[in-house]
Structure 1
Amino acid sequence: MPSTPLYSYDSQPSLYSRDFESSITPNTTQRNTLIVAGCYVLVIGILWHVPYLNLIIYPFKLLTVGFHEMSHAFMGVLTCAHIHSIELDPDEGGATRMSGGIPWLTLPAGYLGSSFIGAVLIACGFDTNASKIASLVLAGFFLFTLWWARRNLLTWVLILGMSGLIVLFWFVAGGVALRYLVLFIGVMSCLYVLWDVIDDTIARKVNTSDASAFADICGCCPSQVWGVIWLIIAFAFFAAGIIVGLVAFKESAAQQKQDAKHFLPVPGSSGAPPMAPLSAFLVVCASALALAFNV
């Protein structure tokens, strides 16, 4: 009688390894997206430290601060806190005033939440339709932020300006420009978190930083230790955003363009209904903003 092998799993590890390798290997469109993202990192790094030229990315810096404060507020809501206000100031600072909640969760939510948002936007920046969905979700976040910051004029100017930019880019090249805008905002958000954590907690200790407040509550480690931990998590989010984008969105540029014609198409295009979803969404946003102004 011929003998049968006791084990038949020798090929499985190599099979899984090949599947993972093929999943994260970028195609031509993804390779171009990675190149653009790398250029974003270089340009942001240069503009960040050059006087006067840093005004070019100043609105996006404020936007990432808004993500930071919005993350505090949303975690506060999830832990039953009462949100009193959100404020942004011209010095690229911000504050979220709340009562109640769980400080163990609300304090790290600023850095980690904004880095998570950046990672999600980076992943969505690999695909046109995903970028459209991300921009609509951002619009919803903007409305909540405006509700909490309705007495802060700078926040209104920033978010209304960014909303207008998103709408404008939605119309350019069938939404392709929107994809690169979403990618830029994601890269900017992740880089800002990494730099802010290093600057506030590791390079120099800022007594009013989230890490300092967290260290006071925890009592077991100095703020620099928590800064390093949060930095590692933020970097992991950054890398995860790229990996998810590579694995999830394998369509070529031509396929994305074709799919975008049928998914939330640009008003007036051949695939758009008389009242396109974007137009309807803008009407809803305008109504919500009018209600907020009357509060």
Structure 2
Amino acid sequence: MGAWHSIEDWIERGKDAGAFLFILIFWQGKFPYWYSTKRRTWLTIPLPLLVPFKLLTVLYHELGHAVIGMLTIWYKELRYGVPKGGERGRIEFIMIDRYEGGLTKFGGDTEPIYSLTLPAGYVGSCLIGCWFLLTGFDAKWSKFGAITLFLLTSFAIFVCFFVKAKSGIINNWHYMLSYIYRWTMCNSEKADRSMRRHQYRKDRRNEKARYKHNNEDGPTEIDLHASQDLIIGCSLLVGTLLCLAWVWDDSMWLRFIMLFMGLLSALYAVWDIVLDGIKYAKVARSDVTYMAEEHNRRVKNHNKLNPERRQKRQRSIRFYAFIWLLTKTDMIILVFVLAYFVFTKNKVEQAVESREFLPAKLHYGPSDLEYDAKYAAGRFQDGMSKLVDTDAS
């Protein structure tokens, strides 16, 4: 079957094991090169190869929060109106930090419906990853997945512009210059001067801020805004890989790009649950934590308002984490099962079929041979039919 041929091809060329191994090795952005028996740990060098892909995955996660949150805010304002003398609900900022974490902060006097907004990030990132994974089992369908990735990234860039995304290069230009002066030109005087300019401009920008994170000395929403040039840079890198894979060998290599993107997105969603909801459940403040708190708050209110009814039970953070983990794992397994039964063409048939939709410039060799053979056989059959008809007449 087609999906089985894709899986066979994936395994034969080492893509399956290679993709898992590549993601596993470079997940933390470090490459292990030696094991220290004295420290009993691996010595590593920084090599953040997966960072652009993981940042986009985090962006899609936060985009789920932002979209569902704003929809629920608009619903509440349309139904109940804006509180008298209050401000309309809005997205204060969307943050994607260097540690591949994210945060979507809402402002105004109309809050989103958190019971829908909080799980939207997990649901969105997992569905996106599963869709990419599914489309990666067929050459023609991988084009649909690539177009979806392009549209989704464009929409994410638009949303970040909508919430006043910043330019990391412009806002940190003097900060970067200070490092260049200090470590490249060994000029500490110019380095200190650039750092003072950076701090001065930062303070001037933050005078207009309406929100400070955690405390009065914490970063403002201007500091926390997603860096637009970073998002565009990651998008351009992924887009370049997609374009190269699209035009080569009837887009057969595009399957592997989409499989890799889907696998990374799905695994990232699962790993996020494992870390925040299970391993560090007692100390982490994550979506699972807030979901558990929101549910337990609703349970408390229900039990308080209905003492005569059966009292509902509050659940721990790990309980919700395990539910989400099982849900995501089942979705990934379902994708593999669905792909096995849906895609029934082999590699050559996939290459020929992919020419029906935005064909690639360079064709897959075996598919050309099969096409030429079928064309020659058809011409030979037509010629023999005409010869027989002529002899009969």
TM-score with structure 2 length normalisation?
0.58
- Kept in 2, the 8 Å contact 1:86–1:145? The answer is no
| Aligned pairs, number | 246
From 288, 292, 302, the counterpart of 1:215: 292
- For residue 105 of structure 1, what is the amino acid of its counterpart? L
1:229 match: 323
From 70, 73, 89, the counterpart of 2:63: 70
Please state how far the C-alpha of 1:267 moved relative to its aligned partner: 5.7
- For residue 190 of structure 1, what is the amino acid of its counterpart? A
Q: Which has the larger radius of gyration?
A: 2
Give a deviation string over 1:174-223, Cα, whole Å, max 9, x none.
21111110000000111111111111110112442001111111112222
From 32, 35, 52, the counterpart of 2:9: 32
Greater alpha carbon shift after TM alignment, 33-42 vs 110-119 = 33-42
- Kept in 2, the 8 Å contact 1:88–1:155? The answer is no
2:339 match: 245
Q: Residues of 2 paired with 1:266 and 1:97: CA distance? A: 43
TM-score with structure 1 length normalisation?
0.75
- Kept in 1, the 8 Å contact 2:54–2:100? The answer is yes
- For residue 353 of structure 2, what is the amino acid of its counterpart? D
1:90 match: 98
Point out where structure 1 has 5 or more consecutive residues left out of the alignment. 1-22, 270-295
Greater alpha carbon shift after TM alignment, 106-115 vs 36-45 = 36-45
- Kept in 1, the 8 Å contact 2:119–2:287? The answer is yes
Alignment of 1:46-65 (within 5 A): 46-49=25-28, 50=31, 51-52=44-45, 54-65=47-58
1:260 aligns with 2:354: yes
Q: Residues of 2 paired with 1:28 and 1:47: CA distance? A: 28
Q: Which structure carries more helix by proportion?
A: 1
Q: Residues of 1 paired with 2:148 and 2:262: CA distance? A: 14
Q: Residues of 1 paired with 2:244 and 2:324: CA distance? A: 35
DSSP 3-state at the match of 2:27: helix
- Kept in 1, the 8 Å contact 2:57–2:125? The answer is yes
Alignment of 1:157-176 (within 5 A): 157-176=233-252
1:196 match: 272
Q: Percent identity among equivalent residues?
A: 30
Q: Residues of 2 paired with 1:87 and 1:167: CA distance? A: 28
1:42 aligns with 2:21: yes
Please state how far the C-alpha of 1:39 moved relative to its aligned partner: 3.2
Q: Residues of 2 paired with 1:266 and 1:84: CA distance? A: 43
Point out where structure 2 has 5 or more consecutive residues left out of the alignment. 32-43, 75-89, 166-226, 297-313, 364-393
Please state how far the C-alpha of 1:164 moved relative to its aligned partner: 2.5
